[in-house]
Amino acid sequence: MPAGNQLRQYSVPTFPPPESEGEESWLWNQIKAEARRDAESEPALASYLYSTVLSHPSLARSLSFHLANKLCSSTLLSTLLYDLFLHSFSSSPTLRSAVFADLLAARHRDPACVSFSHCLLNYKGFLAVQTHRVAHLLWAQDRRPLALALHSRVADVFSVDIHPAARIGKGILLDHATGVVVGETAVVGNNVSMLHHVTLGGTGKIGGDRHPKIGDGVLIGAGATILGNVIIGEGAKIGAGSLVLIDVPPRTTAVGNPARLIGGREKPARHE
């Protein structure tokens, strides 16, 4: 039934959910319904979808299982990682609310994202960010060797390199995600979208607060490099391939190498 499939895959479900249902349980029900339909239409995936989604009682468990399987190695066992992720997501409503916001961000901002379960299972940017949040908690608890081990696995498996000390908001979309590098003292606000190959890096100054601060709602294009302790104001847009070494005011667009400002509040951006 192609028409039904089209409808299922491309319509974003009614949001917010009915008042009678909490956001988390609403989202988890959506994901399970998607996985059930996919398992029925594609027997080759039924076992995978059952073990990764449908056999779990909550999104926290499903996500923990999936991350543990993706990130384990012959010396860093999936059981250890599963326990670690499950404990972190189960005990932190803040982490779960960020998972929720990130899944919505992908569904609403990426036209290629066909369902919540598609993002949960397949988006390496999403999975890298959730792992980062757990590594960041461990870092704050002075469990740095474990935080760095997670960091390293994410760099190997997803080619995404976010230092555990970096502070990242929620509603984050890392689209495609390969090659993203976020340095130790970087700060990223809420509802930020970054394409692949984006660098939030240092300028070579040794030590200290040396990485960019990205405001809420910023959009950073593919391959953009932002270096140094600069401020990118809320709602700013950074063009693909730009090299940004300066502050960018809110709602302003920066493009080029080196970047120049081309639009602002009263001067609409030409590059989106």
Shortest separation between residue 177's beta carbon and a copy of itself, angstroms: 8
Least distance in angstroms from the C-beta of 57 to a copy of itself = 18
Would you give the end-to-end CA distance of the chain in angstroms? Answer: 37
- Asked if 57 is part of the footprint of a copy of itself (rule: CB under 8 A), the reply reads no
Using CB under 8 A, count the residues that bind a copy of itself.
Answer: 81
Question: Which CB, 3 or 14, lies closer to a copy of itself?
Answer: 3
Element of type H or E holding 162: strand 161-162
* By the rule CB under 8 A, 90 interacts with a copy of itself: no
10 Å Cβ neighbour count for 122? Answer: 12
Touching a copy of itself, residues 16-35 (CB under 8 A): none
Q: In this chain, which of 26, 30, 31, 52 binds a copy of itself, going by CB under 8 A?
A: 52
Q: Determine the 3-state secondary structure of 238 from DSSP.
A: strand
Token pair in block for residue 150:
């997670």
Place of tokens 């369902």: 115
Quick one: how far is CA 202 from the chain centroid?
22
The residue among 155 and 231 lying less far from a copy of itself, judged by its C-beta, is 155
Minimum CB distance to a copy of itself smaller for 24 or for 155: 155
Nearer to a copy of itself, 235 or 271 (CB): 271
CA distance 213 to 215: 7
Q: Does 197 bind a copy of itself (CB under 8 A)?
A: yes
Site for a copy of itself in 131-160 (CB under 8 A): 142-146, 148-149, 151-152, 155-159
Q: Is 199 in the site for a copy of itself (CB under 8 A)?
A: yes
| Maximum Cα interatomic distance, the chain, rounded to a whole number of Å | 60
112 binds a copy of itself per the rule CB under 8 A = yes
* Parallel/antiparallel/unpaired status of strands 253-255 and 237-238: parallel
176 binds a copy of itself (CB under 8 A): yes
Query: Which DSSP symbol is given to 67?
Result: H
DSSP 228-266: SS-EE-TT-EE-TT-EE-S-B-TT-EEETTTTEEEE-SS
CA dist., res. 8 & res. 272, Å (int): 29
Smallest separation (angstroms) from a copy of itself to the CB of 14: 19
Site for a copy of itself in 209-268 (CB under 8 A): 210, 219, 222-223, 225, 227, 239-241, 243, 245, 255-258
